[in-house]
Each structure stands twice: as C-alpha cells, then as structure tokens.
Structure 1
Amino acid sequence: MNTNPLYALAENWPADLLIDYILKIHHRGIRDNGPGILARFRRAVEARPEQLELAEACALFEESLIDLDMHLMKEENVLFPFILELFEADREDRDLEQMHCGSVANPIRVMEDDHEGEIQRYARIAQLTHDFAVDANADTDYRELMSEVAAFMNALHEHIHLENEILFPLAVRLEDRHVRF
C-alpha cells in the first residue's frame, strides 16, 4: 500500500488539474533537472574511470532522458489533449467521437509499457549505485549526484503512479461514459 498523501488528494482531482500537476511538476521537472544530473553524472564517471558500474548507470540515465523526452511528447501531444476533451465532454454531459487511434486504452497501454521500462531501468541504476549509497570518503559532488538521482527516480515513480493508477483509469471511465464505438 502506498502512503504518499498526494495520492489520496489526487484521487479526487478533476482530470484537468491532475494533468496540470503532472505537466508542471513532473514533465517540467524531468526537463529542468535531467540535463544537469546527466552533466554531473558524466563528471563523476570522468573522475572515476575505474568504476564501470557508475559508467553503466550514467549510460542508463542518459538513455532514460532520451526515451522520456519522446514519452513526454506523446503524452503532451496525443494522450493528454484527448483526456482533456473527455473531461470537457463529461462536464458538459455530451458525447465525443472516439480517439483517432480507437480507444484511449490503446495509447495508455503504450504509456504504461514505457513506464514499466523506466521502472526497470531505474531499478538497475539503483542496483549499480548500491541504492545511491556513498561512502564516508565520497566528495560533495558525488554525494549530491547520488541524492539527485535518487530524488529524480522517486519523482518519476510518483509521476508513473499518478498516471497509471489515477489519470489513466479516470480516462477509461470517462471514455466509457462519453464515447460510442
């Protein structure tokens, strides 16, 4: 059971507020924080060329940022606009044409698959970094890197939970009420 108090609040948010939160907190956070973390990761790898696990973790983080960029664009340009249309149809108690790709469940499945891939990737990063542990002799830059990567991962898990467990099921319910196939 997840005890994050945000989840209980978000369960009662309308779709437009939930999407705004995801966009402004999570999508913006990925774009704002990811490049700086990657730069710090690269510096750490350069300073510790013998630590092959760190280099692998850095490469995985870089791959994640590339994949997340595409993922966020799909959400922002395809899925979220349709969910907002569903929300408006619900507010106005009217029907809506189906999504251009059929059911909203189709792009949701793609997003959930992407999410699962990121969960697995960050589990590997955590494993490679020994759960972001730092030894007593670690320099400040390395300590901050591990803290930032852990925070990035935790925010990503929150992002995924908000979408998979709250927003996406809401979208399916709204589609069931307002779209005729």
Structure 2
Amino acid sequence: MTVPFTTDSLVRDIVNEAPKTSDIFKKYRIDFCCGGNTPLSTAVNGKRVELNELMEELTTVYESSEQSDDMAIWTNSSSEDIIQHIIERYHRPLDEELHSLSPYVTKVARVHGENHSELLNVFQLFNELKKELLEHTEKEEATSLPLLLSLEDPQTENREEIIATIRELEKEHDHAGDILKQLREITNDFTPPADACGTYRLVYKRLEMLEGDTFMHVHLENNILFPRYI
C-alpha cells in the first residue's frame, strides 16, 4: 500500500487522508486543526518525537485504518451536508457536555483545590472555554455558516465582508485551541494524581474527550469546509 503523504505534507492533509492519525498528533501535542497548515517536517520541531519515528507511526495507522472514516467521507460531501453534520455531531453534543460537565469541574475545584492548586486554573480555563464555545457555536448557526453558503452564489454581494467573518471564526478556533492546550499542560496530559477521587478522575477523562471532539470539530471546519470559500 502506497502512503499518500510525505514529510513535506501538511498536517491537516494527513488527517484528511487518515483521520485516525489525529490520535498520533494529539499524543505528541502537534496541532492538526488550528495549526494544521504546517508541513510535517516543521511540525515536529520542539516535540518529543523524531520525524522518521513519527512517519512510521503515521504510516502504521494509515495502513491499518479503514478509508470509510468520518473525515474521509466529508471531504467529498456538499457544504450543506457538512454544516448539518457539524450541528448534529458537534454543536448539540458540545452544548450538552459543557453544561453537564460544569458542576463536576466546580465541585472538584472546591473540594480538592486546596491540595491541588492546578484545579483552580482548570476551573477558570474550563469556564472561559465554555463561554467561548457556546457563544461561538450560536453565532455560527445563526449567521456565519448561512453567510458562508451564500458565497456559492456568484451574485452574492459583500463577499469580502463574509470572508472576513469566516476569518474571525478561525481566530476564535485558535483561542479555544489555546485554552485546551493550557488545560492539557496543567493537568499533565489529563493524568489525575494518585489520591484523586472518582469525580476528579471523571473530570479529567471528560476534559480529554472534550478536547478530542473539539479538535475534530475545528479540523472539519478549518481544513475541509472553510478552504472551499477562502
């Protein structure tokens, strides 16, 4: 099997070809969504992995993965279908998870924050992320994504203004990505301490799952949907 990427391929293109490679990039803290427009050879700079070693891992994942993966399907779907998928697969579950997880984050910070001061930062960062993402998804559905679809009509006016709104979405994605990176850093890759209770461990596990879903959500928009118009 010929691998369709090289060390010069963009990180986002590798994930488009084989979505399961996102797990490898996440393991080495290589940004494949907001910073996905970076050659693999450059992305490894400063990371705890050698380029050849990373290529071997990516190749293994590619060769063992089925090409019916979610992201591979959406690269060939209409923009309308992609947007509906984003709303149903990411926006709705995200809204539910942010509201459901919030009281657990608050409880863990209150009960364990005195002995584990990083939990106070987790509390602050989570609430910043929650506010950011809820406002962002609401704006996307109400205005930004419908405006994006209007660009398919060559008679649409104010095209540059519409594109500017999409650029603003990308900046908001960057901000959310930065918060998630900070959360991963201060939680030692979402690793709970030995004395962590069940709720403490639950919070870390769900934060890591939230990170994974958010990164794939942003990748779908930044690297598959938006480039069709920008």
Report TM bin, short chain. Answer: 0.7 to 0.9
**1:63 and 2:121 are equivalent in the alignment:** no
Letter aligned with residue 112 of structure 2: R
| Partner residue of 1:75 out of 140, 160, 170 | 140
CA-atom RMSD in angstroms: 1.7
Q: Distance in 2 between matches of 1:128 and 1:38?
A: 18
The answer to whether the 8 A contact 2:118-2:187 is kept is yes
Letter aligned with residue 162 of structure 1: L
Structure 2: runs of 5+ lacking an equivalent = 1-13, 20-68
* Deviation string, structure 1 residues 28-51 (Cα, Å, up to 9, x no partner): 122110011111001101111222
Structure 1: runs of 5+ lacking an equivalent = 90-94, 173-181
Asked which structure has the greater RCO (Cα within 8 Å, sep 6+), the reply is 1
Give the match for residue 112 of structure 1.
170
* SS of residue in 2 equivalent to 1:133: coil
Q: Distance in 2 between matches of 1:159 and 1:14?
A: 17
Q: Distance in 2 between matches of 1:49 and 1:145?
A: 14
Give the match for residue 53 of structure 1.
118
Q: Please, what TM-score do these two structures have when normalized by structure 2?
A: 0.67
* SS of residue in 2 equivalent to 1:45: helix
The answer to whether the 8 A contact 2:148-2:166 is kept is no
Letter aligned with residue 97 of structure 1: T
Matched ranges for 1:146-157 at <5 A: 146-157=204-215
The answer to whether the 8 A contact 1:15-1:83 is kept is no
Letter aligned with residue 15 of structure 1: S
* Deviation string, structure 1 residues 128-172 (Cα, Å, up to 9, x no partner): 111110234422211111111100111010110000001101233
Q: Distance in 2 between matches of 1:136 and 1:22?
A: 37
